[in-house]
Amino acid sequence: MEDLNRAIMANERAVVWTPEENPNHAMYLNDLGNTLQSRFERTGSIYDLNRAIMKKEQAIALTTEDHPDHGGMLNNLGNVLLRLFELTGSMEDIHRAITMNEQAISLTPGVMNVPHLR
């Protein structure tokens, strides 16, 4: 757990020290969201889960749709929203999760050529 806490602190520093205009800023936000989600998985802290969602939303807001990481970030957000739904049972959470994953799929080259995904 100590290593995970140190990883979160390192990711937080990367976010703070990297200007928003820097192309890596969104990636650092997404990475922070991923480590917060990992800590949630170990501790069950809803605070970490909510922070993970917020950081992943911020990363997406800073990333254009044509950026190669945009679809992956949408997928990450969809997955963490699914975990939130599993805790809350909120239909809003599951609908948001589905929407994010559908958007991620739509940005994946060649996916729409797969018959069962059309």
The 10s digit of each residue's pLDDT in 5-64 is: 999 999 999 999 999 999 899 999 999 999 999 999 999 999 999 999 999 999 999 998
- For the entire predicted model, the pTM comes to 0.87
Of residues 65, 15, 60, the one with CA closest to residue 35: 15
In a domain, 115, yes or no: no
In a domain, 118, yes or no: no
Q: At CA 78, angle to CA 105 and CA 76, rounded to 5?
A: 85
State the CATH number of the domain containing residue 51: 1.25.40.10
Domain interval for residue 49 = 2-109
In a domain, 116, yes or no: no
In a domain, 6, yes or no: yes
Domains identified in the chain, total number? 1
Helices (H), 18-116: 25-43, 46-61, 70-88, 91-106
